């Protein structure tokens, strides 16, 4: 598929200028997620989804197993206290201009959870709510960014309210995974 570049971009050793039309085929070997910033949101989302699972990389590293499952999920679980509460990761987005991942979760009280005794804002009156962890991945690990949190707690499940709020606050977000 042909795409028009928003920024100058290196392809291998070749500089391709802003405004150039390039072809990124779904069957190409890989797509580097950080290059998504060079495309429109619609184009980037299509390219990322065409390459998801086995052909997407992040800073040269295989994305699905190493970055997503091995780094982002554990960081989000720790930040959201999954274990003290129950949760299911159901959304992953990427903010190309900030180089940050947005991990969206449906969370609900774990067995034995007592809202009056716990200091967590991840459930509301024993109902499922959508929660978000903003995650920065670097060369050695991932860490949450609470300053981006914007109080996503106490919204309905991830696809009722939280997803829409994420997109209102971050209109350039690229949807990677929707469960």
The tokens of 120 are what? 């967590």
Identify the pLDDT of residue 76. Answer: 92
Identify the pLDDT of residue 150. Answer: 60
Identify the pLDDT of residue 6. Answer: 61
Residues 6+ apart with CB under 8 A from 5: 16, 17, 18, 19, 20, 21, 22, 38, 39
Identify the pLDDT of residue 93. Answer: 96
Tell me if 1 sits within 8 A of 28, measured CB to CB: no
Sequence length of the chain is: 179
pLDDT in tens, 94-153: 999 999 999 988 887 776 555 555 545 544 555 667 788 999 998 778 989 888 776 565
Ranges 14-28, 34-48, 141-155, most confident: 34-48
Locate the domains of the chain by residue range: 2-178
């Amino acid at each position: 598929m042909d795409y028009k570049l928003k920024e100058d971009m290196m392809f291998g050793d070749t500089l391709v200028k802003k405004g150039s039309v390039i072809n990124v085929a779904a069957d190409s070997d890989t797509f580097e997620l950080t290059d998504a910033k060079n495309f429109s949101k619609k184009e980037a989302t299509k390219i990322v989804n065409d390459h998801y699972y086995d052909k997407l990389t992040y800073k040269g590293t295989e994305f699905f197993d190493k970055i997503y499952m091995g780094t982002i999920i554990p960081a989000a679980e720790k930040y959201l206290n999954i274990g003290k509460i129950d949760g299911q990761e159901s959304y992953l987005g990427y903010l190309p201009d900030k180089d940050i991942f947005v991990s969206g979760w449906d969370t609900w009280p774990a067995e034995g959870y007592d809202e009056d005794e716990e200091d967590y804002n991840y459930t509301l009156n024993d109902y499922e709510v959508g929660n978000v962890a903003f995650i920065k991945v670097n060369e050695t690990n991932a860490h949450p960014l609470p300053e981006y949190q914007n109080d996503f707690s106490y919204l309905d499940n991830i696809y009722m309210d939280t997803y829409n709020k994420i997109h209102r606050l971050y209109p350039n977000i690229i949807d990677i995974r929707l469960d």
